[in-house]
Structures are given as structure tokens and as C-alpha cells.
Structure 1
Amino acid sequence: DTPDVRDVTIEAGQPLTFTASFDTVPAFEPGDYATISLRRPSSRVEDEAVNDALERLRQRAARFEPVEGRGLEHGDTALVDLERREPSGKVDTHRGVSVELGSPANPPGFDQGLVGLEPGAGKTFTIHFPADYPAAELAGADMVYTVTVHGIKKRVLAALDYEFAKDLGEFESLDLLRARIREDLEHEARHGAEREMRAALMKQLAARVPFDVPASLVEREIDRRIEDFARRLMEQQVDPREAGIDWNAFRESQREAAREAVGGALALDEVARREGLGVTEEEVAREVARYGERTGRTAAAVRARLEKEGGMSRIHSGLRREKAIDFLMARATISGEP
């Protein structure tokens, strides 16, 4: 792993000096591999799951048609101007926004305030947010809404027939579309089962480490988890600094899982050492090339950056641990469907 470098001294005509510290762990006995007991979850896909997935596709393919001659009903989408006045007097205004009646994102009681309104009509009403409302800034507050309706559209679902199947990907029949959905769901289920088994394996391996794992490795794993979570927030256009998250509490909530992950990784390293599991340069090159394909960069550019940042060792250790996982899965006692 990357050492902690400090006390760097650079003086003209003198050797470079520094202090580097890194954690070491003792060799240990990882136990009898055959006593690792795992259960393979079922990857069977029921007809109901296929029907649910088909209905989701149908909902996404829905079209919206203008409605005339009646007021808003549940399930309609309204084009509105909306004003929200807080108890402090602060006003939040939105123009020309679409609101679907029945959406779980709507405030409690909001839909009832709009039902029956026709285009051109407006209404002012008060909503009381319960004390346990998830958004802390709204919990227990009374908000005054003023809404003006400018238009109404209703969702129209396509019939489940040949035309629907064809529009989704040139399927020649609805049965062929169902077959493709089942195939995709089975693929997801198999991968989900594999993830569950790997997680169970790592948990059992962590329990076999006979010493407290180094605190610095746990902190580093927590840092990695926080960075990964923050990255996912940013991918959803959410600023981690403004997400209302208590990062100190979040950090502590990750500590036990991080400790387990570090323990599992150390056990994998010990298995790889004992069993002589190595990684070839060709395997490293293939992994670098795959990473380049995922990120749209050349293998040479990826390798250059990894070498500059000291990341090649992570590639090597990751591949070695994958081999250790495969080695252990082949020797563990696994129950459940094959």
C-alpha cells in the first residue's frame, strides 16, 4: 500500500531525506476453506416480475394528451404557476411547472388542493407538514400555497400488442419482448446472487482475522466510501456540501462495514500468499485496457496516469484478490440452486 511520507528534507548538495511509515500485518491461518459455508440465492424469475417490468416499460412509453371540459383528477399532469409562502414570509415562486397528481414527491394534502381545478382557475390553501416529515426544514411547518392552473394533460398508455413490442426494439411479437425481458431479469438475478455470495464470503473471511485490523487502513476505507458516496451525489447533480448530511455521523456509520471490508481484504491477501496466486503483466494490461474502454481513454493514457498516481499497485492487488475469491468460491461449501 502507499506509505505515509512526512518530514521531507531537501537541501542543496545534501541527500533527500524523509520518513515513510506503513502498516504491516502478520501472517495468520485463514482456516479450512471447506468450512466456508455460503448459500446461493435463487435467480429464478417469476411471471409476475416479467409483468411488472413490462408495465414499467409501458408507463415510460406513455404519451400525454391535452384535457378539455373538466377539472383535474388524480393521475393527471397539470401545468401550473406555483407560489409557496413560508411562516417567515419568504416566498418561493415557480412558473410553468408540471405537477403530476398522485406523485409521491408531492407534499401531503397537495393533490387534494388541486383536484377539480380547471385551466384558468387558481386556489390558495395551507398545508401542514407533520413533525416527522423527512425534510427537516419543512417538518411541523404550515406552508401557504397559491396555484394557478394553465393546462391539464392525461397519461395514455399503449396497448400491450405487436405495435408496442415493435416500437421498443423491432420485436416481432409481444411474446418475444417478454422473452427478452425475462432473459435480462435472469441476468440481473444471477449477478445479484453472485454479489450476495461474495459479500457473505468477505464477512466470513473478516471473522477469521485473529487480530485487530490497522486503524489507518480502516480510516482509508472510510475515506474511500465517503468519496464514492459524494461522487454519486454529484452524478445526480447534488452538491455534497449542500445535501444536509451530517458527514461526521455518516463517517461513523461506515466504520463497522469498513473494518469488515479491510479484514476481508487482508484475509484474501493471506490466501493469495499461501496459495501462490499471482498476477501476470498480461492480466494487468488487459485490466488497464478495460478501464480505458469504460472511460473513453487509451490504455497508454490510463497506465501513465496510474503510474503517476501510484495506482498500478491497486490494479495488481485488486486482480490478485479476485483470484483469491475465485479460489475460495471453488472450495467453499455452497448450498442452494446451482
Structure 2
Amino acid sequence: MQVIETLAEGLKREIKVVIPAKDMEQRMNERLADVKDKVRINGFRPGKVPVSHVKKMYGKSIMAELVNEIIRDKPSAILSERGEKSATQPEIVMTEDEQEAEKILSAQADLEFSISYEVIPAIELKPVDGIKVEREVVEIPESEVDEQILKIAENARSFEAKKGKAADGDRVTMDYLGKVDGVAFDGGKDEDAELVIGSNRFIPGFEEQLVGLKAGDEKVITVTFPADYPAANLAGKEATFDITVKEVASPAAIEINDELATKLGVESVEKLKEIVRGQIEGQFGSITRQKVKRQILDQLDSMYQFEAPSKLVDAEFENIWRQINTDLAQSGKTFADEDTTEEEARDEYRKLAERRVRLGLVLSEIGEKGGVDVTEEEMQRALYAQLQQFPGQQKEILEFFRKTPGAAASLRAPIFEEKVIDKLLSEISVTDKTVSKEELMADDSEEAEKPAKKAASKKKAAKAEDAAEGEDAAPKKKAASKKKADEADAE
């Protein structure tokens, strides 16, 4: 077998592999000798079939199997011998000429193919003891815990039907039908919908027009959807809603006690406070970690400057660009609205893709050299978390991960990265700094990730809140869902 390097430019490599026809014929004959004793052919006793006859009947199919095996196995073996790692799956090219292929299968021509790939650049790790990060820590006051518990209590409190007119704070149960230009729109209809006036869970201007209504009243409410409403077909449009009030209920007094805790599935109010404090600490801790991680990545980015494999960068850029355009389309924005142009945005996001790929390779090298590994248990937990996100589709999700190459890697990668960050945190200089909640929440932790003024960044919070409502979202923001979420949080 001949292995000839035909291209070596930067990270790009191309190798020509030639396996002489006589070698292929020898392999085929060895395979035929093994097959001869196993085949059953009419007119011949078992094990007595002449090799020439077996070759005539099965020679080409066996040669095809050999070619497929070589194409499958040889590239990785050759790269291993060369001490190289391919950034992506190597591209294999062999003849498409039918006559030439026929000669190869008949062992009358050499098997030739080329392997094209990009190598992962060699990364010489540098000492990390010079990396310094400042970890922002929030001391959670009791008032913060009390404020969150008050919100939970407000969502969990009961209401009692009343005969009078609806006032601020009352809960209105109603049927409604939304129309734009007199035509009902998808998602604009509901029955027995509950809304607490003043909760700001419907679009602006809707709730105020319910004040003064009582059970049995009918009214047409006119509102204008916000210009940045997630459903593009409704954004900025004037709409009417035919309202039929079924019940008006006044809220019971809020009492934060063991009875409230029991209603939420917790044994006592003290336990409820403990749980809420833990949730707040977890939320703040997540933000703190992201800021610390950003500092580490920024410093690693300045320490390591090298050419990143273009195919990895292309793939990363396409993922980013697809998301950006999806977010712009959903928000009804253009690049001009974000004070940039498509060309400028492409250039900036290309740089971001290069940074991500380069840092990914650095973290991978640090983890590999440092013995970081992802356990089977961690992978199972990650898979379980995926299944939890898609109730009723567990079978399809499992099938996807079983059949899709690289799907398991998508679970492993974020776990591996976080474990590498943990390793770095144990080796670098970390200084804690006590800050206020407002300072911690300041949205500057991802500035390096926002080179252009993209709509995606500005709309993440709104999208997360309205995600369940889809393209043709109704005007409400699902008060019931929010209540359930708060109660689930408390548990």
C-alpha cells in the first residue's frame, strides 16, 4: 500500500492511497478460501466447492465488501500513523467511472482513493497560574426571600366569587375572541380564561378595560399589540376582543404561614423559606458562574491565537447565523433596525465562530491533558434531562440519540466543558467580591458574545416567556402557567 501526501497547506491535508490489484486479489482469495467451506451450492458437497467456482459466483461481491472495509477503516489508521487528528470526518473520494470500478472489483486495477481533511492544530498548553478572575457574590438579604415568598403567596391565594363590579386585583373569568380587521386569528380564542386585573399578563391596555364589568356583561375591547410582539402577524396591529364575563372574584387576604406551605407541598413556612433561599442562591450562582467563565475564556482567548479548522468554523458560523436570522424574523426586525448591515454582521459573527472553535479546542486539550472525563452516569443524567423536556416523545428522542452520529457528543460537550472550567477554577487565582443584586444582574457578562446589536439578545427574555404560545400567540401570558411554575419552584 502506498500513502502519498499530495497537499499540505496550513491545516489542509490531502493523501492519495494506492493498494495494488495483486494485494486486493490476495485479500479476496483469502476471503474466498474461508467462504468456500461455508457456502452451499447444488451439485457440490459441503467444503468441496472449487475456489474458482466460488470466485465466479461471489468474487465481485466479496471485493466490494473489502473495498468498503478499507474505505471505512484505513483513513483513521493512516491518520493515527501520521500522528494527526482530523477536525471533521475526512472526505473520501474514489473513481466514479463505472469501467474503472469494474476493473477494481475484478482485481484488474489498483484501488485508489484520496483522503481530504483538516488537522486539529497542535496546541502547546501554557501555565494558567497567571489567570485571575473576580467572582461576584451576592449576600441574599431576608427581604429578598420574603419578596419571593410574597409573589408565590399572591399566585397561590384563593379567590371568592362576588356580585359586584370588577376592580383592580379581582380575578375575572371570561370567554374571549380576538380579531384583526374583523377576522379571528389563530390563538386569539379562549374559554373560561382567568385573569387577575393588574397582573400585567395580557397585552397592555387589555386588563384596564375589564374594570367595572360584572358577571354576565359583554364588551368589545380594543387594544394594539406591541411592535415587538413575538408573533410577527400580530406585532403592531390593532385588535378587538369580544369579551363575555362569566365570574368576578375578589382575592382572599394573603397569609404567609404553615397553611400556605402545606398548600404548596412543603411541611412548614420555615422549610418554604429555606427552599426559596436555595433557589435564589442557585439563580445568582448561575449568573456568577457565567461571569467567571466569561473572564476565563477571555483570558484564554488572549493567550491562544492560532488558525482554527475552517470546516469547524463554517459549521459554528452556520449555527449562529441560522439562529440570528430566525430571531430577526420572529421579531420582525432587520439588520438596519439593529444599526448594522448584513455584511458587517456576517463579519462579526464569523469572528465569534472562530473564537468559539479556537476556545473549544483549547478547553478540549486542557481537559484531555488534565484527565477530565465524562462518566456514563453523567451522560445518563444529561439524556434524562433531554427526555424531560419533551414529554410523550421519549421513544423518538432515544431513537434519535441511538441512530444519529454525533448526537451523544452534543450531550457530552457541555458537561466536559463545565468540568474543564471546574478544573481551571481549582488552579487559577479567584478573588471573591461582594456585590448587590443589581450589580450582579447587570447584563455585561456576555458582551464578548454580542459583537453586533442583534435582535436575538434583546428578545431572549420575551421569547422565553411567550415560547409556549407559538407563532400565533394569544394576547395572554398564561397566568395559570405562571402560577403552576411558581408553585413547582416552591416544591
Residue aligned with 2:272, SS: helix
Deviations 1:175-227 (A, max 9, x none): 34323332343344334423331232122212322234334223323455689
Residue aligned with 2:118, SS: coil
Q: Between 148-157 and 39-48, report the one with greater CA deviation.
A: 148-157
Residue 278 of structure 1 is matched in structure 2 by: 371
Residue 44 of structure 1 is matched in structure 2 by: 139
Are 1:335 and 2:423 matched, yes or no? no
Cα distance between partner residues in 2 of 1:129 and 1:291: 39
Question: What does 1:82-93 correspond to in 2, within 5 Å?
Answer: 82-87=176-181, 89-92=182-185
Residue aligned with 1:147, SS: strand
Structure of higher CA gyration radius: 2
Are 1:61 and 2:156 matched, yes or no? yes
Count of residue pairs the alignment pairs up = 319
Shift in alpha-carbon separation, 1:27–1:279, aligned structure 2, 3 A: same
Assess if the C-alpha contact under 8 Å between 2:179 and 2:241 holds in 1. Answer: yes
Shift in alpha-carbon separation, 1:117–1:260, aligned structure 2, 3 A: same
1:74 to 147, 152, 168: 168
Report the alpha carbon displacement of residue 40 of structure 1 after superposing the two structures with TM.
Answer: 0.9
Assess if the C-alpha contact under 8 Å between 2:150 and 2:256 holds in 1. Answer: no
Assess if the C-alpha contact under 8 Å between 1:9 and 1:16 holds in 2. Answer: no
Assess if the C-alpha contact under 8 Å between 2:216 and 2:246 holds in 1. Answer: yes
Shift in alpha-carbon separation, 1:29–1:322, aligned structure 2, 3 A: same
TM-score using structure 1 length: 0.72
Report the alpha carbon displacement of residue 259 of structure 1 after superposing the two structures with TM.
Answer: 3.3
Report the alpha carbon displacement of residue 149 of structure 1 after superposing the two structures with TM.
Answer: 1.7
Shift in alpha-carbon separation, 1:53–1:6, aligned structure 2, 3 A: farther
Residue 206 of structure 1 is matched in structure 2 by: 301
Cα distance between partner residues in 1 of 2:306 and 2:215: 70
Cα distance between partner residues in 2 of 1:320 and 1:139: 41
The one-letter amino acid paired with 1:78 is: V
Shift in alpha-carbon separation, 1:135–1:105, aligned structure 2, 3 A: farther
Report the alpha carbon displacement of residue 151 of structure 1 after superposing the two structures with TM.
Answer: 1.8
Cα distance between partner residues in 2 of 1:312 and 1:82: 46
Cα distance between partner residues in 2 of 1:218 and 1:4: 16
Unaligned ranges ≥5, structure 1: 231-239
Question: Whose relative contact order is higher, 1 or 2, with alpha carbons under 8 Å and at least 6 apart?
Answer: 1
Q: Between 106-115 and 135-144, report the one with greater CA deviation.
A: 135-144
| Identical amino acids, percent of aligned pairs | 23
Shift in alpha-carbon separation, 1:118–1:44, aligned structure 2, 3 A: same
Report the alpha carbon displacement of residue 33 of structure 1 after superposing the two structures with TM.
Answer: 1.4
Assess if the C-alpha contact under 8 Å between 1:73 and 1:116 holds in 2. Answer: yes
Residue aligned with 1:331, SS: coil
1:3 to 83, 89, 107: 89
Are 1:150 and 2:252 matched, yes or no? no
Cα distance between partner residues in 1 of 2:308 and 2:111: 32
Assess if the C-alpha contact under 8 Å between 1:8 and 1:19 holds in 2. Answer: yes
Assess if the C-alpha contact under 8 Å between 1:284 and 1:315 holds in 2. Answer: no
Report the alpha carbon displacement of residue 323 of structure 1 after superposing the two structures with TM.
Answer: 5.4
Q: Between 122-131 and 54-63, report the one with greater CA deviation.
A: 122-131
Unaligned ranges ≥5, structure 2: 1-86, 336-341, 389-396, 435-491
Cα distance between partner residues in 2 of 1:201 and 1:5: 35
Report the alpha carbon displacement of residue 39 of structure 1 after superposing the two structures with TM.
Answer: 0.9
Question: What does 1:1-338 correspond to in 2, within 5 Å?
Answer: 1-5=87-91, 7=93, 11=101, 14=105, 20-29=115-124, 31-68=126-163, 70-87=164-181, 89-92=182-185, 94=189, 96-100=191-195, 101-128=197-224, 136-156=232-252, 158-172=254-268, 174-223=269-318, 244=330, 255-272=350-367, 276-278=369-371, 284-291=375-382, 294=385, 309-310=405-406, 321=417, 324-337=420-433
